Structures are given as structure tokens and as C-alpha cells.
Amino acid sequence: MNPIKLLFLSIFLFSGFAFSENFIRNLPSEQLRKLLTPEKFKNMDAVIVLKENSFQIQESSIEYHGISLIGPRIQKTSALIVKLFNEKAVQRYGTFEFDYRELLGNQIRNPFEARVRILKESGDIWVMPKKQINTIVSREFDGSPIARKVIFKIPNLSVGDILQIEYSFAENFSLASSGVFYFHDRDFTLFSNLYITLPAKCQTKFTSLPQGKIPDPQITQVSKNWGAGETYFWSLQNLKPIPDESFSTPFTDVSYKTAFIIDRWDNQGESEANWTYKANNFYKNFIKKDNVNEQQLEELGFAGMEQEPVGRSTTDRLYTALREAVSLYEFNSLYPQSENIKSIFKTGKGDASDMAYIMYSILKKWDQTVKIAWIRDIRQGRFEITIPTAMWFDRLGVLVTIDGEEVLYDFDRSVPVSFQTPWFLKGLNVVVIDESGYEFKTIGTPATIRDNIYKEFHHLELKDDMSIYDNIEFTNKGIGAEEFRENNYGLEENKIIEKLTGMLTPKCLSSVDSVSFNNYKSDTKVDIKCAGHLPLNAIEIDSFMVFKLNNYTFSDFKDKIFSTYRQNDVNLKTPFQVFLTWEVALPNGYKIKTTLENANISGPGHAASAYNFYSDNETIKISCHIKFPEIIIPKTQFPQLLTFLDETLAKINQDIILEKEKGETSPDSH
Amino acid sequence: MKNKVFFGLFIIFTTGCSKVFLNDEFISTLSFPRVSQNLLVYYHRHYLLKNNRLFIKTHSLIKTGGNVNTFPEALYCIDGSVQKLQQYHVRLIHQNGSIKTFSKSDLLRSDLSNSQMISRLRINFLPVRNELQSGDLIETITTFEHSLPFLGIQFTLDELEETAKNISCLIEIPLEDSLNYIVLNDTIPVSLVKTSKTKTYRFFWDSYTPLTKSGLFSKNNSEPAILAQVSAPSIFPQGQIIQKTTWQDFGNVYLDMIQSKLEISHARALAKEITKGRTGDKEKMDAIAEYCQKNIRYEQVYIDNGEFIPNNYSTIMSNRYGDCKDYSVAMYCLAKSIGLTPRLAMCHRGRGFEPCPKLPVSQFNHIIVYFVDKQTDYWYDGTNRAGQPGIVNVDLINQTALVLERDNLFLAQIAENSGNKMTISGNLMAVKNDIEGEITISLSLQFAVQFFYYEMHFNQEEFKDYLYRWSRENINENIILKDIKWLPEKEFVLKFSCVLPNSVITIDQNVYVSLSRIFSRLFPSDVADIQNNPDLFYFPYYNRTDLSLNFENLFQVQDQTEPNRSNKNFKLNYSYDLPPGPFNVSQRTDFIQKLTTVTDNFNNNVKLVRMGLP
């Protein structure tokens, strides 16, 4: 629909009530309200009638102790009108929370304003008193606030209400050269509007994605002064919800979005809305700064290396030494402490970008072919080449060319200390930067099921009292190993054991007698050994003994992915496979009663499981190999995926029946 | 060793009061075993009642282990409107002898308010890990003032969370006041030291190792603990010195504190409107409870002392949100305004907790309303939000409640409702090793509360998801459900078609069926651990169940050749009624006997034959 028509339509729909002096948007008309019913929006907690964001860079003047301070200011305004269908929505929308920095403390406060009103089903309108808008100091240092939070509960809110929240926030003496805005939300959205107003004479590049889905903006000239230039307006309708589901594509990848990048602040100057400028600017300001000195190299064990040949093994050792020298922060910044490497060595703490910069500096010192890489972690989403901004990326990596092979070293906490390329870097697109500029690179090829393997081996002993003792070995490679490292980074051994024990009981084992694990920080695999009794004993029926197998990995995966109602495609993040193996020593005097049939089961996305059963006089061996070679499984095939999981589990959970051999009386294991 | 520590403490408190930190001589008496992990080598808690104020000082000494990177990023403490941080001192003693000290002004602060809870709580933290090396000592002293001393003193070793040595708890009160105390889950002696103005009770432990996490049937407060209450005119004004504070004193103080919140006169008009057309007292009380549940949403917003003190009635009704205290105040005021006789009641939410009623020390985390009608007790919990009024959720079954009434307070039990029942009926068929068919589950009274809540809370599809997961948690972990329907009336009724994979055992021509295979999550299959559990405290499963299953294609072996065998298909009916707990020693024995009987019946495999369909 033509944007102008849309604008008028939205005004028409919202014009049913008298204009309010304080609120920038009117409440929905009665005609529209009649359409907003749970029957029309099945299985939804709420529907967003209007989601509107306005972003403006303007000039502002602030009076401070008799002096007028003039400078740029970022002004953000937001409006939300939402109809609530159930208590869960009331709970979710019933709290307002907004954090912001306060760089100048109480000296010059960033202004914040909010307005809230509720349209009840009866037609009454209730406006929240301003005194109930609560702002607190969320962080302070030495008595001075450095961050504030606006947090309050919205009173008088019930199912069936239409809630309107508007707020405006200004960040003094701030500029932004780029921004990305998302049109979708967690709930269905009828109208999603975006206004961007930039200073006059700014030359700006706008990009909307996906291409072809978002119409061109409506442009209006507000003023020719620097402080207020042209306003660009976009409006989308009827956007499906992107709920927070397990195994789903990140919101930022799915949502429609529009980005702005200021190319030139005035008619002169260098063009900035391009990767070349961003890369050169970053390199100039953050790379080739402070250097690692000889003493630091000596502490790392790499003194006097300039004249030595540096191959893969040395580079790996350097990576390991840096990982062992420093404790990594949980959160990363793209910007390294490149002007003060000494502080990183002194404190023994840094983030991934700090360490990448140090490794880069050292390799540069050794005249190696090395570049800096901007990494956007695929676990957070992908970056868009058509939107050149450093905002996409969360950390630096080091791209080293050794003997013609390129290796990207990443200091993420989940990567083993003895470096191995993790699954989330394989096939990843990165931006590589050096003194000559930038290039896009794809790191190797995407991970396959060979890269991500979960192995679970059970050795079962049937005891005299019919209990079943299980010695389990987990060996995880790839995503399983990386998740373990990330989740347990910095934890003491006893805490990890406590976590593992809690994980295994009571579903996999009734109690855990022992748990141990390898040097997972350094090894590329994670090995865990544990032992305990199964929750269920074997059963004696006449001359037969019956028992079932258990497993953790596949059952846990099924529990996590299960849902009765899938709204978006499944995204497994990476292909993987699971090897489950059981070995059961046959008790003395027993033989296998029925050989279970082998089975192959297939599922959507070429998912497949192969169940094999083998027995001889002494042992039963069962294996089940399950593979998921494709990452995306369309939501329309989700029921088939659940059926595949259930059928495979049903096969694993079959009864194993042993028969007492004639003349034998009591069960003892071999 | 113990004597050395006592002596050391004596030195500190008699001559070292002007010093903040431990002196070197004392530190040298502490043993530092070679361990790779961080170790808490000294932990000292001091409760001081002085000038009508209660101060809580905690003094600890940690020795860092081999890998200092496992030490937390920062030291932290939380303060708020109830416990206010007064003093903070930290001393780092490095291996090389150098020392660095910090104080309250070095703390960074962050407000803890978030979408779940808005309060005055703040986290104060001091980043220290940068300063640490392996083998260093970290000495921390925090002093809080507690604004509600009438709640009593509770010191429990599980607050340490890790192995520790040299643990002491001191309670110092004016000489003229009295202290009553109980040592729980331990038998350590107490020593008493008097001065001209004060007397100090000392409790000491050489070492402590956290207990293994308690199992599902165990009580969860098994750690050694001290409960104490001071009889002091400043806290419990009685006009004369009293020797022993009672629950009545406790209740009176609390009622005085909240008196201004109970704006009964403001509630009259609304109460009349809500109860219009209702005749009996119970019907009126139900109407009030339903109104409050429906019109007030649950939110945790705490004003000063808000964790214990409710908002006033007008604020609650204006906000239309609140927590358990606010719901209870709203119901109380509305009911009282029209002449009903409700009472506020404090209790503890969570069945694994064993309170100690001997001392009037607060062990409560929940407030509800108590009402008697025709000699029957009713308990109204606004946080239920839905369901039958006067019925509380299962986590309050048989919990102790402190019913508050000025000069007529008493301890009561929130008795289990004898009508609680889960009924499962089904028309089923054995298909290979699976069972397929239609099942109906009906849950009544306390068993139904959570379902009414979530049915109100979620949209249809999400509620279906919730029911599916509940079935897998409580009926059979592999159950596959189709066509889920539910009827939320007086009972909560759930109907579905289902497949229960691998629920029967097939051996040759026979099929073996047991309740434990069909309903693998409904009842514990192995009770050996439960029987031998010294901390056995309560039964967490559904304790009263009727099962009625009809297997269309299974027959008893002797019935397979009967001419009218179509009427002889196998029916499995079983009922059980177990006490829910908490159990004392004699009740435990009785419970285990009944449990064993039910378990045997559940595990009994009935031998059948399959006729007709495969």
C-alpha cells in the first residue's frame, strides 16, 4: 500500500477519540476495537495495535550555571498501543523498564518523560499519574549516578484493556552515525512505524531488509537548520509475531529492519557510509597502538622469537599461552584496550578483543601475515553486508596465514585453550581489516555433523537385588563441548560436579556416586564419566528379567525442543549427531529372550536414526545413531520432527527381556 | 584448638574493640590446610542489641586457593530497607606481607529492581579479583542494622554454602534483657559471658561441610541453626520486664505495625456491592476472595520494610496489584467491613520446610486469610488468582500457620483437604507393546488449584503445552497426547487420546501390565531409598488417587476361552490414600508401611492375554 495512504489510514483509525494534549497518538477507534478479539487473534497473548519509534539527532542548548552549552542530542520517542488478551500479557506489559547511561551524573541529567493510559473495555480511560513514574539510580560510583533506570508497575491493568505507553528520552551531547530499527515484535503487530529525523545537510544512506518487503520512506522537510532536517517515515502492517522459542533463528535475523548510516555530516568531508571508511577508521584509532614489550613476551614464554620461523604449532602455542595468562570477561566489546596493554597483563583480565589485539601485535612484531577480523557471533545472528556499520560485531579475532592456510583465532570463552576452530566460526562471514582496507571473508566451510558429535556410552551391570548400575561416559565434540566450556567457565571443580549431578538426577540416574571430567578447558573434547544406579530396577516375571535402557543426551534434546505449537521454523544452529551405546553384561544364568529388530527411522530435514541390537552369550550391545544434517526445519514439518523424536525414543526405551537358563537360580553378572 | 579460638575471640572483644580487623596473633592460630580451592577459614556472626537497635556483624576470612581465577569477580553484599549496611571493611593480606584495605566508600552500587520485583534492595560490590594472588587472605567485615528486630534471630550454617572452619555465632544483649534460644539439628554447647552491661551467648563449630542436597522426600532445612528471640521491652513493650517472649507478643507487634494499613471503613461500600445477594458468611467471604483474585494482579513492589509490611487498603485497590500480603489485607478489610471475622495468617510456602514453633521467631514467607464458618476452617490465598475460594495450593498442605489476632493469636495447621483427589479413568488397548486409548483425569480441590491458575494465565495453545508437559512430568514421561481437552468447572477435568509407548511387556503369548509401567511418573517405583531416608519428611506426589482402567483387548488368562469373554476384558482398578506429611517419627513408620503396600501393588505385573486386535 502507498505509504501516504497508509499514513492517512492509520490516522483515520486512531482518530475516534478526542485529541489528547499530552499523548502523541490517539487510542483506537471503536470500529477498530471491535476487531481486536481473542477469537480473531487465536493463541495470542496480545496484539500490538501500534508500535512506533522516532529517532532524531538535533541541536540542543542546555543552561548550566548561567552558561549555554550547545551541542548535538539524540532524541528517542516511542509509542506503544497494545490490546491484552490474557493474564500473561498483563504481567508482561504491566511493567515498564528503561535503562540509560548518565555520563554527566547529576550535573546535566538526560531528560526522560513517560505517559501511560488505559482504555478499559467499558470505554473509560484511565491516565496514570505522573508521580507513579519511578526513576532510580541503577548504578553509581562514588556517590554519583552513572546509570539510571525507569521502572514502575502499571496500575489498574486487566485482561481486555488497551494499554498505551509513550516515552521520550534525550541523550545530551551525543551523536550516532548509524542505527538499526526492527519492525517486528514478540506479538502480532498491526502497525509498525518508524521516523528518522537527521540534521539538515546530512547525507544519509538507508537500507531496509529484506529487500522488496519494505516500501520506500515518506519524506518530509522539517527545517533547513542543522538541528532538524528531513524526516523519513516508514510504516508496515500486519507483522506476524516472532516469539521467543527454543531452537529458533535470532530475532534480529528474522525481523524486518531499517538501518540508517550517515554518509556525510555536511556537504563536504569524506563519505562514511561504506566499509572502507569504517575499516580504515577502526584501524587508525584502535589497531597499531600499544605494543607487547619484551618482558611480557618473556612472561609468555616467547622471548626472542623475531628471528625464528613461526609455523602453525608456534602460533597455536602463542594462543594457548595468552589464554592461560588471562581470565576472560563474560561480555566483549569490539574495541580493544589497545593503548594500554600493560593493564591487561597486570590485572590478568581482558576480553576477547583485548586478547585478539595482543596476539595480533605479537605476530605483527614477528612479521607474520596477520590481520584483524570483526566477528559477529552467529549465535546472535548474521551481519548484513548492505548495512556497513561496526555495530554488528561483538568482538575481534585474529586471521593468520600460515603456510598458505588461513586460521581465524577467536578468544571466545567456549573455545578450547588448545585452539580448535569452533563450530560457530566455520563458514562464518567476517570483515577482515588491515592497513590497506578491508575484505569480506568466509572462514572455511560450514560445520557438518562430523564436527558436532555427542557420544554417550553406558556400561550396565544388573545386580542381585535387581538394581542396575550404570557407568556412563560422555564425550562431546564441537557444539556440545563448546557449550560445556562456556557454561562452566571460571567455576570450581566442586561446583561443576554439583551441576552435573543435578543434571543427571533423577531422570537419568537415581543418584550419582561419582563424577569426573577431563581437562576440558584445554582439550578439544569434553569427557565426563559418572556412575550411579538407574531410576528403575529390573523386573522379575516368572523366569524372565525385564529392564529398559536410559539416556540423557537425546531425551534432554527432546525435552528442550518439544512444544505443542511451533510458530517459527526450527533452527538447530549447526548440524550434529548423537551416538548412544549401551553394553550390558548378561547376568549368570540368563540369556537373551528376544533379539530386538534393528530399525531405521527418518524424519524431516533428513534427520535419521539407526537402531542396532546385537547380543552374544555374554553381552548385549545396543547402539542408536541419530543425525541432524540440516539446520533449518520448517515449522510445517515440526509435527513430523516430534514424531521422529518420539519414535526413536520409543525404540530406545523398548524392554530388554532375558530368560533364565534351565537349572539356574540366581542372577549374578559375569 | 577450640580454646585457642575462644581465647582469641575474648581478646578481640575485650581489648581489640577499637581495632576492626583480626590481629596477627589470632590469625596465626588459625590453621590453613593445603587445599587447591578457596577455603573459608574463619566465620564469625555477631548479633548485638544495643540502644534498642539490632546490629548484625559478619566477619570472615578466606584463603584463596591455587587458581585465583575461580574466586568470584567481586565481593558483594546486599542491603535494603530491612537490613541497612552500616559499615564495610575489607583487608587483603598478600603472601608477600603487603596489605590493602577498602571501606564502604569504595563500594560500587547497583539497584536490584527489575521486572520481577521492585524494591529498595541494592547490591554493593567490590571488585577484588584483580588484586588477588594464590594464597592471599581476604578479610571481610560487614555490619548491618536490622530495622525489624522483633522478627527474631536466625543463624543457619547453610548460608555459608561451602566448607568452613572456625565458625562462631554470638548474641549480645543488655544485661537486663532475656534471650531464649534453640539449637536446631545439632547439639553444640553454648557459653555465656557477662560484663557489667551485657551478656553474650556464644555458639561455636570447629568446622562445617555442607550437607548433600536433600532428596525429594526430605526436609530442606536440615542444617545446624540457631533460633533466638530477645525478651526486651524495647522490642516487645509490655510495661514490665518479661522473661520469655511469646508468639502473642510477636503477633501484637506485627499487628501494631500494620494497623494503619487496615483501612476497614474504606472497604465497606465495595464489600457490600461484591456480596450483594449472598446470604451466608462463607458465601460472602468467597465472593470477596473471588473479587480480589480476579481484580488484583500479582506483583512484587516493596515499600520501606515492604518485604514484611503490606501496602494500605486504598493503595492496593487503587493499584490493582500486590503480593500475598496485599491480597490478604484487601480480603481482610473487605470482609471485616461487613462484619465478618477473618484473620490474617502467616505461614511458610513450600512443603520441605520444617518450622520450629517453640520460639516466636519469624519463619514465614507468606500471608493468607483464615476464616471459620460453622466450625470449619477455610484458608484464602489471593495469589491463587483462580479456582475454588478457601482452598490453598498443595504447597501449603499441613503447614503451620500463625493466625494473628490481638491477644488471641494461635498456631494452627492448614489441614490437607480430605477431598483432594486425582481420578484417572481410561478406555485403553494394547497395541504391540504400547497402550493407546482415551484417558480422563479429574483433579479436585487443592490438586486443581495450579490448573485453574494456568488456564487463566495462558492462551489456549500455551495452556495445552503446559498440560502436555505436566502429563510427562506426572503421568508418564513418554506419553504422546492428542486431542487435549479440558473442563475447568468445580474440578479440573482433562481428557485426551494418548499413546503410552512401551507400557506393556510382551513375552510369548502373554502380556504383562502394571500400574508402574503405565503411570511411570505417578508414583515412585523404588522406595528403598525413601524407606532408609532419615530425613523423610513428606510425600510430594499426588497422595490420594483412584485409578480405573478398562483394557478392551486384554483378558485374564482364565477368561480367554469364556463364551462371553467380550464382557470379561481386563479392568484394572486401584485406589490409594496416603498421608501427605509432614511426618514425625511415629507417623513415618506408618507412612512407610502404607507406601510399601502401594508400591507393591503398583509394581505388580498382571499376566494377561491379548485378544482381537494385535
Per-residue pLDDT of B414-470, as tens digits, reads 999 999 999 999 999 999 999 999 999 999 999 999 999 999 999 999 999 999 999
A128: helix, strand or coil: coil
Residue B574 DSSP SS3: strand
pLDDT tens readout for residues A640-670: 999 999 999 999 999 999 999 886 554 444 3
At what angle are helices B449-457 and B460-474 packed, to 10 degrees? Answer: 150
Three-state secondary structure readout of A145-207: EEEEEEEEECCCCCCCCEEEEEEEEEEECCCCCEEEEECCCCCEEEEEEEEEECCCCCEEEEE
Cell of A182: 526492527
Does the distance separating the beta carbons of B457 and A86 come in below 8 Å? yes
Handedness of CA A385, A388, A391, A397 (dihedral sign): positive
Q: Cβ of B37 and A493 within 8 Å?
A: yes
Indicate whether A526 pLDDT > 50: yes
Say what percent of chain B tops pLDDT 70. 93
On chain A, the residues whose CB falls within 8 A of the CB of B520 are 536
* Interatomic CA distance for residues A79 and A462, integer angstroms: 65
Residue in the block written with cell 509513550: A166
Quick check: B507 and A43 CB within 8 A?
no
Contacting residues of B for A153, CB less than 8 Å apart? 118, 299, 301, 319, 321
Provide the pLDDT confidence category of residue A8 given band limits of 50, 70 and 90. very low
Please state, in angstroms and rounded to a whole number, the distance separating the CA atoms of residues A192 and A234. Answer: 8
Confidence check: pLDDT of A134 > 50: yes
Please state, as a whole number, how many other Cβ atoms lie within 10 Å of the Cβ of residue A148.
Answer: 21
- DSSP states of A280-299: HHHHHHHSS-S---HHHHHH
> A564 contacts in B (CB within 8 Å)?
461, 464-465, 468, 484
Judge whether A253 and A576 are in contact, CB under 8 Å.
no
Q: Which three cell numbers stand for residue A143?
A: 556517590
CB contact under 8 A, B320 and A156: yes
Select the residue of B320, B462, B468 nearest A155 (Cβ to Cβ): B320
| H/E run at residue B493 | strand B492-500
pLDDT at site B499: 97
Mean pLDDT along residues B200-224: 87
Does pLDDT of A6 surpass 50?
no
Q: How far apart are CA B127 and CA A304, in angstroms?
A: 36
Give the least confident one: B36-40, B313-317, B344-348.
B36-40
Q: Which of A206-215, B122-131, B232-241 has the lowest mean pLDDT?
A: B232-241
User: Count of CB atoms within 10 A of residue A359's CB?
Assistant: 25
- Window from B51-65, B152-166, B234-248 with minimum mean pLDDT: B234-248
Strand, helix or coil for residue B467: helix
Per-residue confidence band for B240, with pLDDT thresholds at 50, 70 and 90: very low
Q: Check: CB of residue A477 under 8 Å from CB of residue A456.
A: no
Looking at residue A208, what DSSP letter applies?
Answer: E
Residue B161's pLDDT is 81
- Indicate yes or no: CB of A535 within 8 angstroms of CB of B525: yes
Chain B residues with CB under 8 Å of A538 CB are none
pLDDT band (50, 70, 90) for residue B242: low
Contact A94 B110 (CB under 8 A): no
Between B534 and A224, the more confident residue is B534
Q: Do A653 and B605 touch (CB under 8 A)?
A: no
- Chosen for mutation from A93, A156, A513 (greatest number of chain B CBs closer than 10 Å) is A156
- The pLDDT of residue A270: 81
Cβ contacts (< 8 Å) between B458 and chain A: which residues?
Answer: 86, 88
Domains and CATH numbers, chain A: 3-60+69-264 (2.60.40.3140), 275-443 (3.10.620.30), 453-669 (2.60.120.1130)
* A492:B70 CB<8 A: yes
Residue B593, pLDDT > 70, answer yes
Contact B318 A86 (CB under 8 A): no
Q: B286 CA to chain A: closest CA distance, Å?
A: 21
Give the chain A residue nearest B386 (alpha carbons).
A87
Query: Is residue A470 within 8 Å of A459, Cβ to Cβ?
Result: yes
Q: Which residues pair with A517 in a beta bridge?
A: A528
Identify from B133, B461, B520 which residue to disrupt to test chain A contact, counting A C-beta atoms within 10 A and taking the largest count: B461
Contact B12, B22 (CB under 8 A): yes
Band (A142; pLDDT cuts 50, 70, 90):
confident
DSSP B341: -
- State how far the Cα of A554 lies from the Cα of A476, in Å rounded to an integer: 13
Do B129 and A349 lie within an 8 Å CB cutoff? yes
Task: Provide the pLDDT for residue A662.
Answer: 82
3-class DSSP assignment, residue B446:
helix
Write the residue in A85, A94, A548 that is nearest to B297 by C-beta: A94
* Residues of chain B contacting residue A186, judged by C-beta atoms under 8 Å apart: none
Please report residues of A whose CB lies closer than 8 A to that of B383: none
Per-residue pLDDT, averaged over B147-155, amounts to: 93
What angle separates helix B324-337 from helix B281-295, to the nearest 10 degrees? 140
- Domains of chain B from N-terminus onward: 2-231 (2.60.40.3140), 249-414 (3.10.620.30), 421-610 (no CATH)
Find, in chain B, the residue whose alpha carbon is nearest to that of A593: B507
Find the residue in A nearest to B511 (Cα). A541
A with B: how many residue pairs have Cβ under 8 Å apart? Answer: 150
Report CB contact under 8 Å: B468, A494: no
Confidence class of residue A10 from pLDDT cuts 50, 70 and 90? very low
CA distances from residue B547 to B172, B427, B540, B577 in whole angstroms, order as listed: 59, 12, 19, 12
CA-nearest of B397, B393, B448, B602 to B518 is B602
Q: Write out pLDDT tens, residues A312-351.
A: 999 999 999 999 999 898 899 999 988 888 889 888 889 9
pLDDT surpasses 80 at B15:
no
d(C-alpha B345, C-alpha B414), whole Å: 10
Question: Which residues on chain A are in Cβ contact (under 8 Å) with B300?
Answer: none
Ranges A474-483, B161-170, B558-567: which has the least confidence = B558-567
Q: Which of A97, A491, A650 sits opposite B115 (nearest CB)?
A: A97
Grid cell locating A52: 512506533
- Tell whether the model's pLDDT for residue A14 goes beyond 60: no
Which pLDDT band holds residue B2 (cuts at 50, 70, 90)? very low
Strand partners, A71: A60
Chosen for mutation from B68, B102, B111, B214 (greatest number of chain A CBs closer than 10 Å) is B111
* Residue from the list A494, A544, A654 with its beta carbon closest to the beta carbon of B433: A654
Residues of A in contact with B464 (CB under 8 A): 564-565
Q: Would you say residue A19 has pLDDT above 50?
A: no
Cβ distance of B605 and A535 shorter than 8 Å: no
The DSSP symbol for A666 reads S
**B109, B301, B605: residue with CB nearest A153:** B301
How many C-beta atoms lie closer than 10 Å to residue B571's C-beta?
A: 11
A447-450's contacts with Cβ under 8 Å and 24+ in sequence apart are A447/A423, A447/A478, A447/A479, A447/A574, A447/A575, A448/A575, A448/A629, A449/A575, A449/A576, A449/A577, A449/A627, A449/A628, A449/A629
Where residue A247 falls among pLDDT bands split at 50, 70, 90? very high
pLDDT digits (tens, 9 = 90+) for A453-482: 999 999 999 999 899 999 999 999 999 999
pLDDT, one tens digit per residue, over A585-623 is: 999 899 999 888 999 999 999 999 999 999 988 999 999
- Would you call A38 and B459 a contact, using CB atoms and an 8 Å cutoff? yes
